[in-house]
Structure 1
Amino acid sequence: MTLALKYAARSDRGLHRSNNEDSVYAGPHLLAIADGMGGHAAGEVASKVVIAALAPLDEDVPGDDLLGKLHEAVVSGNDTIAELVDQDPDLEGMGTTLTAILFGGGRLGLVNIGDSRTYLLRDGQFNQITRDDSFVQSLLDEGRITPEEALTHPQRSLVLRALVGHEVIEPTLQVRETRAGDRYLLCSDGLSDVVGFEKLAETMQIADRQACADKMIELALQGGGPDNVTVIVADVVEEEPQPQATQAFESSNNHMHPVGPTTSPPRPPVQMPPQQPPPHQATMQQPPQQPQKKKKRGRKIAIIVAVSVIFLALIGAGIRYLAYTNYYVGVSDGGEIAIFQGVRGTVLGVGLHRKVEGSCAPAAGPDCRPLRIEDLGATNTTRANEGFPVNDLEAARRTINTWRSEDQQPEPQQPVNCPTPLPGSSATSTPTDVPSLPGETPPGSSTQPSC
């Protein structure tokens, strides 16, 4: 009898995110979750790059050097992030957390950086076995806040250490013994920030690991689903040697995805697959005379996935650059003339513009009267409704000032109150015919408006 891993993985983009920056891999030797950061698809690139660097570890029995292999893969992934940032400065600031297990039978290697977590349920005791590299964790360590306060702290998502490419940040590595009956939970902070420790411990008692993983996702969504959420539930079991299907589970913009089958029929350990597996899946069943094909195919799949994601991210960055280097004057939702950065329209439902300021510049002061669409003449109304392009922010402000002077009507003059003529008197006075010198006002005349 040998110890083996049986696992289930789930991922969901949550209720408030348009894409999923989490990436996850689940196989018979490797379990890994990376939570990308950086936005605009950059976080998704970083997490997938690191997972792609770890994936080859699942292709062979790890051997004794569990931590050495994990460390080498993490450094490789971090170096790739640095190369991508050097090639495209728009990716500056992207990075990823990582929590991963390399399973070696009676032992496992555990690597962690950031605030993605690994928990262990053993003999009825549920414990977190990784430490968050976060600001809130530092406050807990110093005794400045309580665990209850940490759950609602406004800076609970602030990560102090992550894989960002610029420098080699040493991850936390540890070796742990494994026992039959152990159950591991790996998760991104989309679960641990929303669901409390006691509820996680209760949910881990669900015997069926797939149902357990589903329930974890359900709890995160019931808690508001503010972030992407990804979980792996894995059991250590005793069994006769038999393989599991190895699958790199890719997160996407869709909602809950299963990893797929976690077991396959028994076969001799040396066999390899008779045909090319589908993308993200490597099932080993071919004659032993070509042992290198398995490793090459896994690497090829990882490279294809990483290149595809990077290509899409570069396209998105290019669109974002072209959009946000333009300005135009248009109409805001409330009808006020406003300055926008970007271009009108959307791509795949994502807006390509944002409002910069209203019709009153910050230096205009409190007496500035907002310019509204109904204040404009026909020509400038059409220009505003269609979005009037300008070169920069100052040009936009000048355009608004021009429209204001062209189209806003001057304040009406107050009528002059003239005295009511007395009965029998004339409404107008007849000036006395008295000579006057040049430059003098003739007697009887007035500089006031005529009544």
Structure 2
Amino acid sequence: EGMGTTVTALYWLGARVAVVHVGDSRAYLLRDGELSQLTHDHTYVQTLVDAGRISEEEAATHPRRSLLMRALDGVNPVEADLSVREARAGDRYLLCSDGLSGVLSTEEIGILLAEGEPTGCVTRLVDRALEYGAPDNVTVVVADVIDYDLDIADSTILPVVVGAAGELRVRERLPHVEFPLDAQPDPENVAIARERAVAATPESALKVRKREVRRRRWVQWTLSILVILAALAAGIFTGRAWLQHQWYVSVYGNPGTGTVAVYNGIPGSALGFSLSRVITDSHVAVGTLPLFDQELVSKGIPAADENDAARITNELAQRARECQAEVPAAGCPGTPN
């Protein structure tokens, strides 16, 4: 109770990168030698700066500079800042806590961030903040944007998972999260540490990456096939249920010698399978019906349900009997038009 945390995170979206932010940790972007701050501090002193009541220099030494206006406490909802921007090869992103940004100037951060590879850059930033007597924890993450395609499995560059996500006990509690194959050994498990250490060597990283690519493709193909099969099964089930509620009256047998019958389904076939079946054969010869009714039956007479189909059949049977009378009704076979 009374506790809270800040969060500043990056999420890669193909050719774009999203930044989500709550609190006073910061995200920076170093592009073409120019450093820009991507986040806005959610602090009391930042509101004073925004209002023009104090300067940036005064904010750095203000007694209430650590007072947060937004934080994650797990109880109250909080609105996070979200931005999306283009990711370019050569960009370098920095995520840091106020233990770094609170003691180093933007200019000094930019100079240190521009030197060397990410791991050495992190070490220099943390060491410099500690030299300046950082009063809070100093958390630093540096990420470079590189040209990389999983379909081109020839890269020996492996990501590094840091913080709590890099701990084995945390990963075991999240079995459905697919963590990347990272180059940083986990000291909590010797076997896994050895496997990752071997995987991090240039000679074997390619084999491990190809195996990971094949496994992910196999999972993707399997899921795609299962989704297609599920959709087909759902379509067949829905179609069958719909067909069971369709009724019509038509010819059973050859058009010239067939009889009037009740069908469940619809006329026609699909993939060689009939879409209807005979439910009742009235044994009323179609040829004994009036010519107009013969034409209707040959085309199929739709019915609302089975009872309606039975009613239509009974009416047709009655008209067939009228045509067999001594004086057939008009329109019966053999009578003048």
| TM-score (structure 1 length as normaliser) | 0.38
Structure of greater Rg: 2
Q: Which has the higher contact order (CA 8 A, sep 6+)?
A: 1
Q: If each structure's helix is expressed as a fraction of its own residues, which one has the higher value?
A: 2
